[in-house]
Every structure is written in structure tokens, then in C-alpha cells.
């Protein structure tokens, strides 16, 4: 990673680069440019589904924050995962938080971040305390149901007749800013309404407002938001090289269209910033090899987008270049997983394989005309027949009548 000492102005520029929006930027400017002290930021992740490659987007920003001299706290939000419509069942919350810590640490290491500059905090380590709970009650007296539901609309899973837990979620995320002792919170633009709620409500219970830094939402492989619950939209961190290549080959990638292009966005927000962090002079460089002609070398995303619009850079070439870079990026993480029995054990506990559905055994319909087969008509030990269909089974009412009825065309057997 580049080691050049940055000026306060350069630090501020690096903090803001590639962000979709900054709320209350004056707070950040005052700390970085006037107070000249490290900006303290927290990023929270609810420990629910398996982390996917979309996590590289916030991880890259965290790496840039650290490069800019910031202090970063990573909140493993185990209680939030439970509150979000039971995305993390209470029995699995502890294990999923541990699994997330393994994943996040490995992602940070692979992009060159020193873990001694970070602080990991487990949400339940302070969110279950009396003081926090009392502040949560205080917030609940000033935030309406409408405002709480609106704040979590893009983050908390929305269902009909929702439980109260979804309303508590945004209140806790707001309160976490105070209890983590930060100057700013970092997240995606999908959390903007929660950030706005925090800005408005914290001051009403005597706490200072914070700044908010927001990443744009990177499209998934199938277009739209990248989601852990949609296997077609994302690449799992532990996917094999073959699986990664297969998913990227089938990704939504319309020729000449840069908007909504998940592959191009991944290069813009992960692979190119990574090359700059790894460079001694902070220079961006992304190379795409070609079977014919010289490699395509890009030092800016703007140049890459122009080539893509002109079809100089085809979807096939873009996919091949991104696939090769991503496989290389994931390789050391997967090697670390394979070398860690502890991580492997936690993975099994956090995400136990679903039990195959048991096939319900259907009773055979043998009909009713077999010995003991239902009540259609039953033969008794003395040879007599009982049941509602006795008349249909009886040959006759008497022996002489039976002999006569068994005659065929007037002849006896």
C-alpha cells in the first residue's frame, strides 16, 4: 500500500472519493482541516446471510479511510441481524457474528489493511446494557411509528403485518453512533433515511449529530441490487475459481451500456481503487489481456467507460479481465479458510446445511376388495359376508338360488 504522507486536504479528498453522498460535511471538514485530528468512523454490518463479493465495496472505502488517517470501528451487529425479521435466528446469531469477523478480517488483509488500526465491536456487548436500553426507550417516545417504518424501508425486510423489531432497528442504529463514540457513520445510500433519522432525533435526547458517508449501491450480476438472498446476483467469498468464472460469464452485461453494469461497477469501486492503494504513487492501473493485439491498459474509469461505450472494450473482454482479477483477489482468502479448522467449524455452525425435506409416505390404495380391506364388504369366519355392499358381493340369498344363478346359458358348471 502507498505510504506517502497526505496533507489534510488530500486526506479529505480521499475520504470523499467514490462516495455517493456526504451528509453534514462541515463536521468532517472541521475535524480534518481545523482540528487536524483523526476522523472516527464506524461501519456496521448485520450478521445475517453469507457475505458476498459486494462487501469489497465498503471494505475498499474502509481501506481508504485508514489511508486518510481515520480511525475505524467495525460493528458486528448481531442484535440487528436478529431484529431484521429473524434473518439471523437467535440460535445462530453468535456463530454468524464470529463468521463475519473471520470474513471481514480476511477481506481487509487481502487489500493490505493492518488490523491493528481497527476496532471490532460486537453489538450485544453494549446494546443489552441498562443505560443503552433506557436511551432506546427515550428515543421510542419521540420517534413515531410512521417515521421509524419510513427510516428502515430500504434496509429492514418489509412484510405485511410486520413485527415491532423492524421499528426498533433504525432507532438502535441511530443510538449506536453515540455509544461507539464516533464522528461519522459510513454505509450505503440505501441507509440514507436511517441516517436522516439519527441526525434529527439524537439531538432531542441530548446527543450531538454526526456526519454520514454513503457508498453508491453497486449493481449485482443479474442487474439491480446485489443481495445475499439472491444467488444469481452475487458471488460468495468462498466460491471456487470455476464458480466465479461461470457466474461472471453469465452476468448481465449489455454491450455499450455502462449504467446498471455490475461488472463495470465492481471494477470502478473495488479493482481500480485497490490498484491505487497498492501502488507506491497511488496510481490507478487496470489491465485487460487480449488474445489478439496489445493489452488494454486503463488508468481511469472514465477511459474504460468510453471504450466500453465504443465497443472497443467488449462485454467478453470486460468479463474476462474482471474474472481473472477477482479470482486472484479471492485466492488468499480461500487459502486462509482452508488452513483454519476454527473458521471452517464456525462456518458449519453459522450456516448449517438445510435438512432435505422428508418425502411424506402416501398410504397405498389397495382398494376394498381384498381380505380385511375396508368396510366395502367383509367375509366373516363362518363364510358369511357383511358390509354395506353385501348385496353386490353375495351370489344369492340361499344355496339353491346360488346354484341356479351360477348356471351359464342354462347349464350348470
Residue 152: its pLDDT value, please? 85
Q: 225: which 3 cell numbers?
A: 441490487
Q: Return the SS3 of 413.
A: coil
Q: Return the SS3 of 76.
A: strand
Residue 369: its pLDDT value, please? 54
Q: Return the SS3 of 324.
A: helix
Residue 24: its pLDDT value, please? 96
100: left (phi over 0), alpha (psi -120 to 50) or beta: alpha
Residue 226: its pLDDT value, please? 57
With vertex at residue 86, the alpha carbon angle to CA 155 and CA 236, rounded to the nearest 5 degrees, is 70
Radius of gyration of the chain (CA): 33
Contact 108, 64 (CB under 8 A): no
DSSP 8-state secondary structure symbol assigned to residue 225: B
Could you give the C-alpha distances from 198 to 39, 169, 318, in angstroms and in order? Answer: 19, 12, 40
**What are the average pLDDT values for consecutive 10-residue runs of the chain, which has 413 residues?**
80 95 97 96 92 92 93 94 72 90 94 87 95 96 92 77 84 96 96 95 95 90 60 82 92 90 92 88 89 92 96 94 95 96 95 74 60 51 52 52 51 45
Q: Return the SS3 of 288.
A: strand
Contact 212, 195 (CB under 8 A): yes
Residues in the chain: 413
H/E stretch holding 122: strand 118-122
Beta-carbon neighbour count of residue 99 at 10 Å?
22
All structural domains of the chain with their residue ranges: 8-218, 369-403
The CATH class given to the 8-218 domain equals alpha beta
* DSSP bridge pairs for 72: 41, 118
Contact 324, 290 (CB under 8 A): no
Residue 379: its pLDDT value, please? 47
Amino acid at each position: 500500500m502507498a505510504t506517502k504522507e497526505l496533507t489534510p486536504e488530500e486526506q479529505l479528498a480521499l475520504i470523499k472519493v467514490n462516495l455517493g453522498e456526504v451528509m453534514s460535511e462541515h463536521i468532517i471538514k472541521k475535524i480534518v482541516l481545523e482540528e487536524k485530528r483523526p476522523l472516527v468512523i464506524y461501519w456496521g454490518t448485520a450478521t445475517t446471510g453469507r457475505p458476498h463479493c459486494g462487501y469489497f465495496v465498503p471494505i475498499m472505502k474502509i481501506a481508504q479511510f485508514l489511508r486518510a488517517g481515520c480511525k475505524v470501528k467495525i460493528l458486528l451487529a448481531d442484535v440487528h441481524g436478529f431484529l431484521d425479521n429473524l434473518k439471523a435466528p437467535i440460535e445462530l446469531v453468535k456463530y454468524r457474528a464470529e463468521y463475519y469477523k473471520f470474513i471481514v478480517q480476511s477481506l481487509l488483509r487481502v487489500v493490505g489493511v493492518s488490523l491493528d488500526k481497527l476496532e471490532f465491536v460486537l453489538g450485544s456487548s453494549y446494546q443489552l446494557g441498562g443505560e443503552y436500553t433506557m436511551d432506546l426507550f427515550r428515543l421510542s417516545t419521540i420517534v413515531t411509528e410512521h417515521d421509524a417504518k419510513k427510516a428502515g424501508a430500504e434496509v429492514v425486510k418489509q412484510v405485511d403485518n410486520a413485527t415491532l423489531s423492524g421499528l426498533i432497528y433504525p432507532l438502535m442504529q441511530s443510538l449506536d453512533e453515540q455509544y461507539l463514540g464516533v464522528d461519522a457513520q459510513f454505509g450505503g445510500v440505501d441507509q440514507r433515511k436511517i441516517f436522516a433519522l439519527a441526525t434529527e432525533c439524537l439531538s432531542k435526547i441530548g446527543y450531538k449529530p454526526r456526519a454520514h458517508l454513503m457508498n453508491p449501491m453497486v449493481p449485482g450480476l443479474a442487474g439491480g441490487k446485489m443481495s445475499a438472498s439472491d444467488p444469481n446476483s452475487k458471488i460468495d467469498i468462498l466460491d471456487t475459481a470455476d464458480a466465479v468464472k461461470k457466474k461472471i460469464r453469465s452476468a448481465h452485461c449489455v454491450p455499450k451500456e455502462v449504467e446498471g453494469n455490475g461488472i463495470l461497477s465492481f471494477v470502478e469501486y473495488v479493482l481500480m481503487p485497490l490498484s491505487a492503494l497498492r501502488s507506491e504513487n497511488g496510481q490507478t492501473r487496470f489491465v485487460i489481456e487480449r488474445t489478439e493485439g496489445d493489452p488494454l491498459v486503463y488508468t481511469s474509469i472514465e477511459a474504460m467507460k468510453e471504450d466500453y461505450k465504443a465497443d472497443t472494450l467488449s462485454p467478453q473482454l470486460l468479463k474476462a479481465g474482471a474474472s481473472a482479477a477477482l479470482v486472484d483477489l479471492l485466492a488468499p482468502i480461500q487459502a486462509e479458510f482452508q488452513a483454519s479448522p476454527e473458521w471452517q467449524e464456525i462456518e458449519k455452525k453459522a450456516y448449517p446445511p438445510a435438512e432435505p425435506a422428508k418425502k411424506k409416505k402416501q398410504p397405498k390404495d389397495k382398494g376394498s376388495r381384498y381380505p380385511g380391506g375396508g368396510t366395502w364388504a367383509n367375509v366373516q369366519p363362518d363364510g358369511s359376508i357383511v358390509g354395506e355392499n353385501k348385496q353386490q358381493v353375495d351370489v344369492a340369498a340361499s344355496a339353491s338360488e346360488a346354484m341356479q344363478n351360477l348356471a351359464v346359458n342354462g347349464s350348470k358348471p
